Structure formats: structure tokens, C-alpha cells
Chain A
Amino acid sequence: MLRTALFVTFVVLAGTGGEMAVSVAMKRIGEVHDFRPRAILEFVRGTFRQPWMWLGFALMVLSFFALLALLSWEDVSFVVPATALSYVVGALGARFLLGETVSRTRWAGVLLVCCGVALLTLSR
């Protein structure tokens, strides 16, 4: 039980953290306007020069490995819906790390996801 909780937490945090890091890297590169093959190649090379990109990629890979390990002992009908907790982490991160405004509807959605995961946990 404890191991499962730890792994779900890790999958969610590393996955969301990875996406955030990739997002930081992309914002640093700037919006893509030129879609010619040469420009796209240049863009891909640019992403590899961003340390944030590597951090994000590493976190996503770790998250995937942890998901595989989790699936080796836990039901998929429990694990995959539970990873929806990433929306909770996303909203909290947006509000408290990035200082964005999170609407009431979105908080309501986050609350529903939390209740849903609580029910999943009880169903194990």
C-alpha cells in the first residue's frame, strides 16, 4: 500500500514536473513561426541546447519507468485513473509556483478528481 502510494506520487510529480520543465525550455526558445524543414531542424537542435529540456526529458523517462513498475503489481483500472492527480498538481503548480489565476470551475474539477482518487484508493 505504502509502496503503491509512493509510486503514484512519484509518477505524478515527475510527470508533471517534466512537462513543466519542457514548457520552460520551449518558452525560452520562443514561439515557432518558421515551418520550413531547415528551420525545424534548427529548432530541434536548439531544444537540445536547453538544460531545462534535458531535465524535463529525464523526469518524464523516470515517470514512465515508475509507471511500468507500478503496473507490474497494481491494477491498470486503479493506476491510470489515479494518475489524473496530475491535474491537481498542475493547478497547484500554476497557482503557487507560476502565480497564475486558477478559475473556480477549474478548482471544482480538481476537487472532483481528488474525490475520485479517494474512492479509487478505498476500492483497492
Chain B
Amino acid sequence: MPARRTKTVVLLALMILCGAAGDVLLSKGMKEIGAVEDWSPAALAATYVRVFTHGTVWLGIACLIGFFVCYLLVLTWADFSYVLPASSLSYALVALLGWLVLGETVTMLRWCGVGLICMGVGLVGITPHSTTEQV
């Protein structure tokens, strides 16, 4: 069914993009707010207010909600064992966006680590999830 396949691919792409963008935006927002270093209750309360009145953080949260909606939608027809390996690509996209958008130094070693993680999550995903033996 080509139409359904297109729908799945588009929604998966949107899901991966929203998830990665959400994480990168949260990171950008938190960097703008500054490192949390004072753990006294008063300082934490002040940080809490700053975080949840910060536009970039909310943009990130909106993206993560978009990710979650796409995830739920695609799971209503696609198998989890198809969705999970695909979604592991978002780890690579986060690293890519961190490098391109936030200017993070992503060394060769880090790329290799991210690659192994993607493969690992992919393997976890293709494993059948129903462990109850059919007898």
C-alpha cells in the first residue's frame, strides 16, 4: 500500500525532527538561562520561574508534544519494532543539530558513540516484544 507507506515515512520523519528539535531548543533555552549551580530552595524556585517563562524552553516543549503526538499516531498502525529503530535516528539528528545550530564540538569519538547508540537502540527495537512463548 504505497499511500500508507508514504504516510508512515512522513510521520516518522516529522516525529524524529520534532523530537530532536525539541531537545535542541530545550538545551538552547537552558544555556541562555545559565548553568544551574545554586541548589538552595529559593534559588531553585527562581530558576523554575525563569525556565517556565522562557520562550525557547516553551518552543522546545511544544516540539516535544508534537513528537509525542506523531509517536502515538504512528503507533496506531505501524509496529513498535519498526518505529523504535527509526526513532533511534533522532540521537544522530540531535548530535547533528547540536553541532550545526548550537556550535557544539562533536568529536570523532562522540560521533562513533552516537553511531553505536543508534545501532544498539535499533537492535533492541527489532527484537520481538511479546516474550510470552506461543505454545
Contact (Cβ within 8 A) B107 A84: no
The smallest C-beta distance from A37 to any residue of chain B, in angstroms, reads 18
Contact (Cβ within 8 A) A120 B94: no
* Complex Cα gap A110–B116 (Å): 10
Check if B9 is an interface residue, CB within 8 A of chain A: no
Contact (Cβ within 8 A) A80 B94: yes
Contact surface of B with A, Cβ cutoff 8 Å: 23-24, 26-27, 30-31, 33-37, 51, 57, 88, 91, 94-95, 97-99, 102, 104-107, 109-110, 112-128, 131
- How many inter-chain contacts with C-beta < 8 Å in the A-B complex? 129
Q: Name the A residues within 8 Å of B120 (CB-CB).
A: 84, 87, 109-116
* Complex Cα gap A68–B118 (Å): 23
Contact surface of A with B, Cβ cutoff 8 Å: 67-69, 71-73, 75-81, 84, 87, 91, 94, 100-103, 105-106, 108-120, 122-123
Contact (Cβ within 8 A) A71 B30: yes
- List 10 A-B pairs, minimum CB-CB distance, nearest first: A109-B123, A112-B120, A119-B113, A116-B116, A77-B98, A113-B120, A116-B117, A76-B27, A109-B124, A123-B110
Taking a contact as CB atoms closer than 8 A, the residue among B31, B33, B104, B123 that contacts A112 in the complex is B123
The smallest C-beta distance from B67 to any residue of chain A, in angstroms, reads 12
Given A73-B36, A111-B120, is A81 in contact with B30 using a C-beta cutoff of 8 Å? Answer: no
* Complex Cα gap A103–B125 (Å): 11
